[in-house]
């Protein structure tokens, strides 16, 4: 079993919201999240909109400063890093964003966009043009794309450029934040294949964030399910799809329409009533309590922590204490 490359313990990110004068309420976007990501694996994070998965991705890379908690990289708490070590961490941990249209600077050529990072970090890449061209080829683009501008490319090609930019830093860890959600299915397929292959080739560890369960299953070895700022279940992709323990995970998985009419129409759908709670005024106890078909009195009183049930299965639910 490999060691965790990244370990997150009780991570919190709260965004202040003004009530009056200087009084504040807080949007608890990430409210106490803990998990490990092992070297060489792709860890998937799924959840619905507002569950905090995007905030989680950015906080882990310190693109947003965390409110509380610890983030360990190779056993060291990165929140205690000095400037030098932080810069090194930032080189080794990259992100690919969802929106290809806004994440590339429209005023820079592809060459500039990709070489910018290595230049800033003073990485020796040999001949810069050759370096960028070889990266472009790796992501399925051509040499003649080198001096074009972002607007000349399609959405799928822009994402390839974004991935090349991340790879230029020779990273160890990449966070993919809904990288294909804005793309057509046929384009999505080739980008996903490419990410998988690059992951193997460069021995990358990754975190794949998406609301699309089928895509996450295809890309990840282990999956964490998020609900309103907390992780409610973690398990192996295949195992998780075979059996879900947490009632929310069950509802989520049963709700996804499978692209296969015979299977999806015979599938029993667990229709969950109601809506997720507001992340500002969270109810006491388990946040899924108001919608949970298995609710018990204790669920209303105390919030369950993530518990290890089996090897490779963690659930945050009083049904499994």
What residues line the site for another protein (CB under 8 A)? 20-23, 48-49, 154, 156, 184-190, 192-193, 196, 211, 213-215, 217-218, 238, 241, 247, 251-252, 254-265, 268-269, 271-272, 275-276, 283-285, 293-294, 296-301, 318-321
Cβ proximity to another protein: between 109 and 190 the closer is: 190
Residue 228 CB, nearest distance to another protein (Å)? 11
Residue 219 CB, nearest distance to another protein (Å)? 9
Cβ proximity to another protein: between 110 and 252 the closer is: 252
CA 292 to chain centre: 25
Cβ proximity to another protein: between 22 and 144 the closer is: 22
Residue 184 CB, nearest distance to another protein (Å)? 4
Q: Pairing mode, if any, of strands 230-236 and 222-227?
A: antiparallel
Residue 125 CB, nearest distance to another protein (Å)? 30
CA atoms within 13 A of residue 220's CA, in its CB half-sphere: 31
Cβ proximity to another protein: between 1 and 23 the closer is: 23
State the CB neighbour count (10 A cutoff) for residue 63.
13
Backbone angles phi, psi at 236, to 5 degrees: -65, 145
Cβ proximity to another protein: between 123 and 255 the closer is: 255
Identify whether the C-beta of residue 205 lies closer than 8 Å to the C-beta of residue 172: yes
DSSP 246: S
Residue 157 CB, nearest distance to another protein (Å)? 9
Residue 220 CB, nearest distance to another protein (Å)? 11
Cβ proximity to another protein: between 149 and 320 the closer is: 320
Euclidean distance between CA atoms 210 and 237, whole angstroms: 14
Euclidean distance between CA atoms 176 and 44, whole angstroms: 9
Q: Categorise residue 75: left if φ over 0, alpha if ψ from -120 to 50, beta otherwise.
A: left
Backbone angles phi, psi at 43, to 5 degrees: -100, 120
């Amino acid at each position: 079993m490999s060691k965790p490359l990244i370990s997150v313990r009780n991570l919190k990110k709260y965004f202040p919201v003004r009530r009056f004068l200087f009084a504040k309420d807080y949007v608890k976007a990430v409210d106490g999240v803990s998990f490990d990501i092992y070297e060489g694996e792709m860890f998937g994070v799924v959840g619905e909109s507002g569950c905090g998965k995007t905030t989680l991705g950015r906080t882990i890379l310190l693109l947003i400063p965390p409110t509380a908690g610890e983030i360990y990289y190779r056993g060291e708490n990165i929140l205690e890093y000095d400037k030098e070590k932080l810069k090194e961490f930032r080189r080794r941990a990259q992100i690919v964003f969802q929106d290809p249209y806004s994440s590339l600077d429209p005023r820079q050529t592809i060459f500039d966009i990709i070489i910018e990072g290595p230049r800033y970090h003073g990485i020796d890449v040999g001949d810069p043009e050759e370096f960028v061209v070889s990266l472009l080829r790796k992501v399925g683009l051509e040499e003649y794309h080198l001096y074009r501008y972002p607007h000349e490319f399609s959405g799928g090609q822009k994402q390839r450029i974004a991935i090349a930019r991340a790879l230029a830093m020779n990273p160890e860890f990449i966070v993919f934040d809904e990288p294909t959600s804005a793309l057509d299915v046929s384009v999505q397929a080739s980008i996903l294949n490419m990410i998988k292959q690059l992951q193997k080739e460069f021995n990358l560890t990754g975190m794949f964030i998406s609301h699309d369960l089928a895509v996450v299953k295809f890309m990840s070895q282990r999956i964490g399910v998020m609900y309103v700022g907390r992780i409610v279940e973690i398990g192996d992709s295949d195992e998780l799809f075979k059996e879900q323990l947490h009632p929310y995970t069950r509802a989520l998985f049963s709700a996804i329409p499978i692209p296969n009419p015979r299977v999806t129409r015979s599938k029993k759908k667990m229709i969950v009533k109601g809506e997720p709670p507001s992340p500002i005024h969270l109810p006491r106890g388990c946040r899924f309590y108001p919608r949970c078909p298995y609710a018990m009195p204790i669920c209303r009183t105390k919030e369950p922590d993530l518990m290890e049930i089996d090897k490779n299965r963690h659930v945050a639910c009083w049904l499994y204490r």
